């Protein structure tokens, strides 16, 4: 069943840096949410907190299923987190990675075969299953990371700048895949510093220096502010002339 999440007044300090400052957000179920901001905005800290890897210093968050609170331990069983820095094994092939994550998540053989075939076809990596991860292009490497995350068929997908450093064609293909997953009513949170990607999201949550600046449908936010692009809109929000 679709899951949504509420974040309320979360604060998080990392050493001397106040990474999150009174952040409150609502992630509606079944939508593709963009967490938009430059490097150092607090995007990674927010995703790691939602994944249960960090604990808020103040405030909190709650996942819900059909209006009922979902314990974080249960939510994590249905969650896939793709970190900014992938930890794949350079000497293992695509096929060996998929087999490894099958065993890790204890996926039954018949279900695994179906998901494996579907993901390989969707990512267009079916002709490269024997290629080691260390010899993949940047875009192919990111697709392999996404496949490993999706093998367990999650209801919550957290993506930390998955298209960073990826060529334009691979970026477009990556987003096409996200749209297909959205149709399955997965709650998708994607953190990105690319302002053009904000316009591809159903909802955006703009943060800078750990603070929430705005949230809403990207086109509506741009129209309300008279901005020609989302980058112009962001510069307006932080008080910088385009």
Spatial CA neighbour of 230 closest among 183, 203, 194: 194
- Rg of the chain over Cα atoms, rounded to whole angstroms, equals 18
Q: Which domains does the chain have, with CATH numbers?
A: 3-78+154-237 (3.40.50.300), 89-153 (no CATH)
Read off the pLDDT of each residue in 77-84 and give the average, rounded to a whole number: 90
pLDDT at 49 over 70: yes
Read off the pLDDT of each residue in 223-240 and give the average, rounded to a whole number: 90
Residue 86: per-residue pLDDT:
72
Spatial CA neighbour of 133 closest among 100, 110, 159: 100
d(CA 144, CA 19): 30
pLDDT at 227 over 90: yes
Residues 159-218: tens digit of each pLDDT: 999 888 788 888 888 898 889 888 888 899 999 999 999 999 999 999 999 999 999 999
Residue 241: per-residue pLDDT:
55
Residue 87: per-residue pLDDT:
77
Read off the pLDDT of each residue in 53-73 and give the average, rounded to a whole number: 95
Spatial CA neighbour of 81 closest among 11, 166, 146: 146
Spatial CA neighbour of 193 closest among 181, 206, 180: 206
Read off the pLDDT of each residue in 211-234 and give the average, rounded to a whole number: 94
Beta strands in the chain, from DSSP E residues, in sequence order: 3-14, 17-27, 32-36, 58-65, 68-70, 79-82, 156-160, 187-192, 203-208, 211-216
Residue 26: per-residue pLDDT:
96
Q: How many residues does the chain have?
A: 242
pLDDT at 242 over 70: no
Q: Provide the 10 A C-beta neighbour count for residue 201.
A: 24
pLDDT at 84 over 90: no
Question: Which of 19-23, 74-78, 86-90 is most confident?
Answer: 19-23
pTM recorded for the entire structure:
0.90
Q: Are 63 and 69 in contact (CB under 8 A)?
A: yes
């Amino acid at each position: 069943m679709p899951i949504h999440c509420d974040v309320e007044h979360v604060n998080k300090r990392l050493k001397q840096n106040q990474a999150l400052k009174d952040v409150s957000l609502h992630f509606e179920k079944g939508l593709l949410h963009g967490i938009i901001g430059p490097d150092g905005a607090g995007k990674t800290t927010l995703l790691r907190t939602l994944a249960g890897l960090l604990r808020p210093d103040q405030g909190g968050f709650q996942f819900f299923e059909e209006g009922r609170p979902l314990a974080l331990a249960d939510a994590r069983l249905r969650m896939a987190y793709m970190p900014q820095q992938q930890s794949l094994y350079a000497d293992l092939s695509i096929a060996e990675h998929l087999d490894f994550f099958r065993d890790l998540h204890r996926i039954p053989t018949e279900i695994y075969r179906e998901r494996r075939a579907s993901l390989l076809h969707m990512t267009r990596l079916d002709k490269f299953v024997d290629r080691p991860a260390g010899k993949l292009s940047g875009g192919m490497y990111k697709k392999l990371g996404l496949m490993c995350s999706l093998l367990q068929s999650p209801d919550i997908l957290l993506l930390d700048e998955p298209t960073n450093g990826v060529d334009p064609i691979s970026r477009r293909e990556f987003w096409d895949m996200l749209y297909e997953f959205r149709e399955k009513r997965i709650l998708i949170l994607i953190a990105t510093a690319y302002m053009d990607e904000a316009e591809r999201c159903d909802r955006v949550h703009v943060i800078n220096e750990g603070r929430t600046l705005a949230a809403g449908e990207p086109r509506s936010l741009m129209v309300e502010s008279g901005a020609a692009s989302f980058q112009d809109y962001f510069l307006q929000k932080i008080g910088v002339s385009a």
